[in-house]
Amino acid sequence: MKIYQVGGAVRDLFLNRTSNDIDYLVVGATSKEFLNKFCDASLVGKDFPVYLAKNENGIKCEYAFARKERKNGNGHKGFICEFDSSITLENDLSRRDLTINAIALSENGDIIDPYNGMLDLENKVLRHTSDVFSEDSLRVYRLARFYSQLDGFKVHNSTLKVLSGMNNQLADLPAERVWKEFEKALKSSFPEKFIKLLKITNCLNVHFEEFSGKELKTNQVDPILQFCELIKDFTYKEFHSFCNRLKIPNVYVKSGLATITHLKRAKDLMNLFNNQIITILLSSDNFVGGSDNFFKLVENSNKDYYFKIKDCINVKLPKNKRNLGLESGKWVEKMMLEKLQKLQKDL
């Protein structure tokens, strides 16, 4: 039995990046032989043997048995898995998506790199490992995500050509899996590169058609703010179509809707009437993280102006003005406007 470290953790090791997931590959062994060595292991894989067990550092990791895959249906799950002790490390690595993800480390630190992934890491190239790449349509979005996460990397021309031929395979993908890849890109520094790659490979029209013709640029660090930066020029119809198609979580939908509704006026806050300012402050307070988070999307002096007058919506009604229905609401608005005027005079 031989055990190799594989996958993203190996790639990230050579890129000096932190990796949260450490995966191992078991070669030349049966489940019984593996369990004799890892007595605390628990089976988590359904289609083929994957175990959770502690590594030599006491960290719980996944140990998957080497396998081959054979396409037998549509979609990214249409595969038959073959696994037994005769399957080699090279057999397993050949089915991986990119050369930089097809590098293995032996237990004594030897590098096994049959597809020259180390050279592609050095040259910052994203290149598909083999022709089987096109058998799994989810890899289009997975590669777009890597493109957004790995700063300075470019996609090899041969891989761009493969991606361009996979457009007709994307419609069958589960919306949740597509969103998951996009959300990971939103957590990167350059999520707009995700969309850019789909554009240049003609893969935009299936799940991300609303981004066609939009100018995209982000400079945020929070994924919700990144999302709002990307959709800020959507129409209401485009926004609802996009969110419904990908079944986007409500925390993103809520903030995105506030962005489409109020961001353009918020960027001109200093030139608005006071009642319009109050409306924006109250509405943006429903943004995830509150108004302060919303106004991170606003640049220049209008953001500074907001921080100077934002306290105007914090008012407290006298007891004799409470519970009077519409009249109480009018009193609240009156008090906010008076407080705003006072704050403006003090600027």
| Averaged pLDDT, groups of 10, the chain, 347 residues long | 95 92 93 92 85 91 88 62 86 95 96 98 98 94 98 97 96 96 96 97 97 90 95 97 98 95 95 96 91 92 95 94 93 96 93
Residue 68, H or E segment? strand 68-71
Is 9 a domain residue? yes
Domain count, the chain: 2
Our measurement of the distance from residue 80's CA atom to the centroid of its chain's CA atoms, rounded to an integer in Å, reads 28
Task: Note whether residue 35 is domain-resident.
Answer: yes
Boundary residue ending a domain (123, 140, 169): 123
Whether 4 is in a domain gets the answer: yes
pLDDT in the model for residue 286: 83
Q: Does some domain include residue 118?
A: yes
Q: What is the pTM of this model?
A: 0.90
258 in any annotated domain: no
Asked which of 123, 150, 172 is the last residue of a domain, the reply is 123
Look at residue 320 in the predicted model and tell me its pLDDT.
93
In a domain, 214, yes or no: no
Specify if 43 maps to a domain.
yes
Q: Which tokens sit at 30?
A: 């049966």
* Residue 80 to residues 69, 76, 98, 285, 309, Cα–Cα distance (Å): 6, 11, 21, 51, 62
Of 71, 95, 123, which residue is a domain's last?
123
- CA of 336: how far to CAs of 233, 306, 319, 330, in Å? 30, 14, 17, 10
Backbone phi, psi, residue 167, to 5°:
-55, -40
- What range does the domain containing 269 cover? 263-345
CATH number for position 59: 3.30.460.10
Instruction: Determine, yes or no, domain membership for 64.
Output: yes
